[in-house]
Chains A and B, each alone.
Chain A
Amino acid sequence: MNSMETELTSALDAAAETVRAQTLRPLMKPQARRARRVSPWLAPIAAASAVALIIGLAVTIAGHVHTPRVVPPAVVAATAPPRYYIDIAVNNNTSVRNQPPVVMVQSVATGAVIGRIASPAGTVPVDVAAASDDRTFYVAYQANDGIRIYSFSMTARGTLTPMTAIKGGFVDAPDNNAMLSPNIALSPDGADLALSVSSTTVHGEQQRGWNDVLVVISLRTGAHRVWQGGLYRPGEVLSIPSISWAGSGTLDFVSFWCTSGGDTLCTPASNTQVRTLSVAADGGSLAASTVLLSASARYPGIAAVAAGTSGRLYIMALSRADAKGDVAATVDQVSAATGAVQRVLYRRGAFPVTMGPNVFGLRADSSGQYLLAVIYSLHWEELSGPGAPHELPGTSSADGIAWLRITQAVLRIRVLLWA
């Protein structure tokens, strides 16, 4: 052990000793389960602090409406909700051992695990996407040296094929922090896979951004087209937390800037935007994108965007609901052309959070009939009922979700969930 390692051991021991036995809270015993309608994980949640066990509930919003009578007649015929979704389970409730994150295919109706996909050695799954053939899926893995993209398929018999690395499916991200998870999205024609990744340029200077680079991978050739720069602001940190294809060749994304840098605190992001970028070129600057929507009184914080059909955008926004720090969330359908609100799809009043505003993900399918949203800290009892948004079973500890439709082509829904 060299001197630095000795110094390191000494520092870690000293830091650990600041945690004294007499200051520990006594462990709480498991609580008895409620008689009905209580998810198995609610008891642990009630006992443990939300910091340790923040649970995101997936909320499905059917047909951008909740009842058949409000479905616009001109829209394509209603289809059944998807039967399965894939997710990245962080704390796999169904396994005997507490495993590292794993990609799982689950039933929308019951949450039953259809299959699990073993991760390539030395990687951790961070996001997922589904193709329009309903059978091909893409998973982004964080490896030591960067992001690696793999795919797997579901056979006609409902079995899952092993993971295979896609051509060009490595995005070099030296010094990349595994926790700066990339977002991925598959183009509607299935030709390109887009990622927002972090350049994480830590060289003794302030980081310029989290997920501040857009990369489009051609799934046919493996070629990369990269968009970076042009949106950096002095003293601020750029982040792209959400991306969505608005037709092949156009990528919508959410951008915001924090006023502090590094892998540290992000002060309230009041300057979020939804921007659109043509990615038909061979790459370039993010400055080539244009603003579709800016933060406003209605949208104080835009956290996720999903491009819909016919010029629709779906926006998930957060706002401070009260002085206690509770947060309100809305999911609106707006016009991409004018920014006008066309429909309020979902509204959640003040709900408590422990770590600031939380909005986790939003994805629409190409038919415009289903939208999957994930919002932190919702109580599922309040969401149940005919026609109302409802929780997807089995998603309480998921990290990323992709809905997929097995029986028919068309539907692609994927959501990024941070539980």
Chain B
Amino acid sequence: MAVSRTEVPQDLADLFRARHLELVRLAALLVGDQASAEDVVQDVFLKVCARWDRLTESGVAVSYFRTAVVNGCRSVHRRRTIARRFGGTVEAALWAEPEPSAEAAVILAEDRRRVLRALATLPYRQREAIVLRFYGRLTEPEIAESMGISRGTVKSTLSRGLDSLGSRLARGGPGGPFPPVEGEER
């Protein structure tokens, strides 16, 4: 079934509606802020609309959504890295100070924030693998598919990432001297 660019198939709309929050949350953990995360997912949605007729099985579609979101977040991160070199700024990270809201402050207590700040200092690929594993609860083959890398690379990336994270947490202690994360001014 061919779909024009201005039509959104009902099954796609339903599927995306069901997955919208999940995808935005995944993206938010990768890019660090909700606004950018929503943009990434919006972009994915538009692309999927144009290709929906080729993605017929919902299982494939969900996997496709996730991979597309991961790729979109990676692109955002790359652009930010370059933008920073020329004085650009990025949105405050979810775990940055000051607290975005009292509610968030309760949800995201300092000890968790400390873990997230340490996570943010890892190389992006390691961070990506860790988020997919420990937030997305993906298996190594699923992570491999989402990141476009081999299972072995997933395993080594996760291992290195967890080792680095552990050493940084051990070194930093509560409120330790981690480098500031995206969006945090010194």
Chain B associates with chain A: yes
Contact partner of A15 (CB less than 8 A), chosen from B29, B45, B149, B153, is B29
Asked whether any CB of chain B lies closer than 8 Å to the CB of A51, the reply is yes
B143 near A: Cβ within 8 Å?
A: no
Count residues of chain A with CB under 8 A from any CB of chain B.
85
Query: Is residue B1 contacting chain A, with contact meaning CB distance below 8 A?
Result: no
| CB of B17 to closest CB in A, whole Å | 8
Q: How many interface residues does chain B have, given as a range?
A: 35 or more
Q: Does B87 contact A (CB under 8 A)?
A: yes
Residue of B whose beta carbon sits closest to that of A96: B54
Asked if B95 contacts A15 (CB within 8 A), the reply is: yes
Q: Does A97 contact B (CB under 8 A)?
A: yes
A24 to B18, CA, bound (A): 13
Q: Are B87 and A91 within 8 A (Cβ)?
A: no
Chain B 72-97 interface 0/1 with A at a Cβ cutoff of 8 Å (1 = within):
10111111111111111110001100
Cross-chain contact A99 with B169 (CB below 8 angstroms) = no
0/1 string, B90-117, CB within 8 A of A gives 1: 1000110000100010011101110110
Does A178 make an interface contact (CB < 8 A)? yes
Task: Assess whether A263 is in contact with B107, with CB atoms less than 8 Å apart.
Answer: no
Interface string of B24-35 (1 = CB under 8 A from A): 111011000011
Find B134's partner among A12, A52, A263, A419 (CB 8 Å cutoff).
A12
Question: What A residues does B185 contact at CB under 8 A?
Answer: 265
Q: Is A144 an interface residue (CB 8 A)?
A: yes
Which residues of A have CB within 8 Å of B89? Answer: 265, 355-356
Are A52 and B43 in contact (CB-based, < 8 A)? Answer: yes
- Within 8 Å by CB of A122, from B42, B100, B153, B186, lies B153
Whether the pair B124, A178 counts as a contact (CB closer than 8 A) is yes
Given contacts A27-B42, A52-B72, A358-B83, contact A14 B112 (CB under 8 A): yes
User: Which of A28-36, A132-140, A273-281 contacts the other chain?
Assistant: A28-36
Task: Judge whether A53 is part of the interface by a CB distance below 8 angstroms.
Answer: yes
B138 lies within 8 A of chain A by Cβ: no
- Rounded to whole Å, the gap between the CB of A183 and the closest CB of chain B is 11
Chain A residues close to B by CB (< 8 Å): 4-5, 7-19, 21, 23-25, 27-33, 43-44, 47-49, 51-54, 90-91, 96-100, 121-122, 124, 144, 175-181, 202, 204, 206-207, 210, 239, 241, 256, 258, 260-269, 301, 303, 318, 353, 355-360, 399, 418-419
